[in-house]
Amino acid sequence: MSEVKRCTLLEAVNLALHRAMRESEDVLVLGEDVGINGGVFRATLGLREAFGFKRVIDTPLAETMIAGLSVGMAAQGLKPVLEIQFLGFVFAALEQLLAHAARLRCRTRGRLSCPLVLRSPMGAGIRAPEHHSESTEALFAHIPGLRVVIPSSPARAYGLLLAAIDDPDPVVFLEPTRLYRMNPQPLADDGRRLPLDSCFTLREGGDITLVSWGASVHETLQAAERLAGQDVSAEVIDVACLKPLDLDTLEASVRKTGRCVIVHEAPRSCGVGAEIAASLYERALLDLQAPIQRVTAPDIPPPLYRLEQLYLPGVEDILAACEATLNYA
C-alpha cells in the first residue's frame, strides 16, 4: 500500500514498525508498556493487536534485562526492536550494549551477530521531569560496533528505521521527543529504505554550511530561513547517521561554502560536533574562511524545565554564531 498520508514523526515510526513486522516474522518488539498501552508515546500502537503477544512483549521493569535479552534473541536470529522508555533510562542497559551487542560479531569472527535495534526517545524541550531530557548520543557514537541514527522528519524516521531493522549490526535509533508530534508531512508507506551512512541535505546554499541533527534541525532550518532574508544562502545538512559519519558530504559542502556552524542539543565538550569539526579541519582546513562554530548546550545536566531554554540552542543563538562566522576577518 503506497497511499500517502500526513504523518508525524511518531506515526512514521509506528508505520515503519508495522511494515517491518509484516515483512518478517523474525522482527519483534519488546519494552515497558509497549503492548497494551501501545507505548507511552504510542509509538507501538496497534502492534499487539496486529501481531500478538509473542511478538509484542510487555516486559517487567528492567532495562538491563531488556537489553541483555535482546542480545540473546538476536544471536538466535530474531530481530528484536527494543524500546527504552526514555534515553535517560538507558544507562542500566549500557553494559549489555557495550560489552556484548557491539562486540558479539567481532568476538566470534562473524559466527554470531547482534542485529538488534534500540529505540528510545531523546532530548529536551517537553517540560518533562528530571532524567527525561537526555541527549547522550555521543556515548553511543563512541562505541565501536554500534550504529547511531537520529531522524529529524517523518520521512527520514520511516526510511531510516526500516533500514535499521534490516541492518545486520546493532543500531541505536534515537527519536527526538520534541519532534514527535510536530510538523506532520505527507508520507507514503512504500517500504522505501534510506541509507544508514549518509547525511541528508535539507536545503541547498552557497554561503555557509549549517550542520545539525535531531530536534535542533528544526531551529537550524528556521535560522537558514532568516539568513535567506538577509541574502545569505545557507546549506542545511541533517547528519542523521552519527556513526558512521558521512564526512564526504560534509567536507564537500564546507569546501563549497568555506564556513560552517554545527548545532547540537547535547553538551559541548566531547559532543559529536567535536568529532565533525576535527574531521572537517583535517580534510578542508585550507578551504575554511573562518573557524568552525559549535552551538550547543553548556556542559551541564539538562536543567528542570524552567531553565530549559538556556540549555537548548535557539534560533537566535544559531544566528549569532552565523554572524560571527560570516563576518570573520
Residue 148 bridge partners (DSSP): 172, 243
Is the CB of 41 or the CB of 173 nearer to other proteins?
Answer: 41
CA 24 to chain centre: 24
CA 140 to chain centre: 11
Q: Determine the residue type at 103.
A: R
Is the CB of 140 or the CB of 158 nearer to other proteins?
Answer: 158
Distance in angstroms (rounded) separating the CA atoms of residues 310 and 316: 12
Do residues 296 and 265 make contact, with C-beta atoms less than 8 angstroms apart? Answer: yes
Is the CB of 111 or the CB of 231 nearer to other proteins?
Answer: 231
Do residues 40 and 85 make contact, with C-beta atoms less than 8 angstroms apart? Answer: yes
Is the CB of 79 or the CB of 232 nearer to other proteins?
Answer: 232
Render 218-257 in DSSP notation, one character per residue. HHHHHHHHHHHHTT--EEEEE--EEES--HHHHHHHHHHH
Residue 241 bridge partners (DSSP): 149
Nearest CA among 37, 41, 40, 60 for reference residue 49:
37
Is the CB of 106 or the CB of 310 nearer to other proteins?
Answer: 310
Alpha helices in the chain, H assignment, sequence order: 9-23, 47-51, 63-75, 94-95, 104-107, 137-141, 154-166, 216-229, 247-257, 272-284, 308-311, 315-326
The answer to whether residue 132 is catalytic is yes
The residue annotated as part of the active site, out of 18, 100, 132, 218, is 132
Is the CB of 79 or the CB of 264 nearer to other proteins?
Answer: 264
The dihedral through the CA atoms of 321, 126, 217, 167 has a sign that is positive
For residue 226, the minimal CB distance to other proteins (Å) is 11
- Prior bond to 244 cis, omega within 30? yes
For residue 38, the minimal CB distance to other proteins (Å) is 8
| Residues annotated as catalytic (active site), given as ranges | 132
